[in-house]
Structure 1
Amino acid sequence: MMVEIQKRFSDFDMYGHVNSVVYFSYFEYARIQALGEIFENVADTIWFVVAKQSCDYLEPILFKDLVFVEIKIAKIGKSSFDLEYIVKNDHKLFAKGFTTLVAIDKNTKKATPLNQDIQNYLSKIS
């Protein structure tokens, strides 16, 4: 899935490029666009929490750059799944990122297996 990012003036640092921490908000935005429906459908019983996250910065994003995040499901486990992000446009590859999300039972606050509906939903994004 490809998601267009609308940059904000506050995304930029004193060097004139998008600050490194902002990439994680771009990942979050793409994740919500791709997975928001399933998050909403199970929110009464399951929360998805970030267990691990990383970003490899390849080229700075400048004010004039169009920015898109391509998001893919890299792996589906028993109670977690991995997402890969590619931050790019037609001419540049800005960054690659990775997030592991874990399904947590809202009541017990413990990891819980991904049910079949969740697995099917995630498989469509792979």
Structure 2
Amino acid sequence: MPDSLLPSGAQDDSRPREHRHVFALRWADMDMLRHVNNTVYFRAIEEARMQIFGPLLPLFAPGTGVVLARAECDFLKPMSWPGNIEIVHRLARIGRSSLDCNILIRREGEPDTVYARSRAIVVLSDLASGKSSPWSAALLEQLQKQFAATPS
């Protein structure tokens, strides 16, 4: 865990830091094979990402925002309706202006089955210039709170 993400005086316990979000599936989310459409995974991940960053918006400097710089997904097993998708963001790295997460996509209630693995990198940007902007101390502190330490 990068020191800049840890609260002052805190020790790194090396446990995964996760943010969990449940996304309700709709019948309309299926494709013609009756599997959850691949685009729905990205929509669920986006919604989970907004659950992470939405509460932090008041801390953003005027004219800055989070931009998705990279998104990838490996589809491992088809998922079908009904049910809910559980999106688990695991904090992989935080840089001067970026946040890198490994993401697990599971069905709620099936913690041992991973349906897809994803990775996303977001960058805090000056929206006018398009250049990266460093995280403030207040944003780093709140990001730490968004990713709770979970038992290994």
Provide the TM-score with structure 2 as the length reference.
0.74
Please report how far the alpha carbon of residue 34 of structure 1 lies from its aligned counterpart in structure 2 after TM superposition.
2.0
Instruction: Tell whether the 8 Å contact from 2:59 to 2:139 is kept in structure 1 after alignment.
Output: no
Please report how far the alpha carbon of residue 19 of structure 1 lies from its aligned counterpart in structure 2 after TM superposition.
1.0
Residues 108 and 17 (structure 1 numbering): CA distance in 2 closer, same or farther, change over 3 Å? same
* Residue-by-residue CA offset, 1:66-103 (whole Å, 9 max, x unaligned): 32111222111011111221111333211111110011
The share of aligned pairs that are identical, in percent, is 28
Match of 1:90 in 2: 109
The answer on 1:106 being equivalent to 2:127 is yes
Provide the TM-score with structure 1 as the length reference.
0.88
Residues 17 and 52 (structure 1 numbering): CA distance in 2 closer, same or farther, change over 3 Å? same
Q: What is the alpha-carbon root mean square deviation over aligned residues?
A: 1.7
Q: How many residues align?
A: 126
Q: Where does structure 1 lack aligned partners over 5 or more consecutive residues?
A: none
Instruction: Tell whether the 8 Å contact from 2:26 to 2:81 is kept in structure 1 after alignment.
Output: no
Match of 2:21 in 1: 3
Match of 1:39 in 2: 57
Please report how far the alpha carbon of residue 110 of structure 1 lies from its aligned counterpart in structure 2 after TM superposition.
1.4
Q: Where does structure 2 lack aligned partners over 5 or more consecutive residues?
A: 1-18
Specify which structure has the bigger relative contact order, considering alpha-carbon pairs within 8 angstroms and separated by 6 or more residues. Answer: 2
Larger Rg: 1 or 2?
2
Instruction: Tell whether the 8 Å contact from 2:35 to 2:81 is kept in structure 1 after alignment.
Output: yes
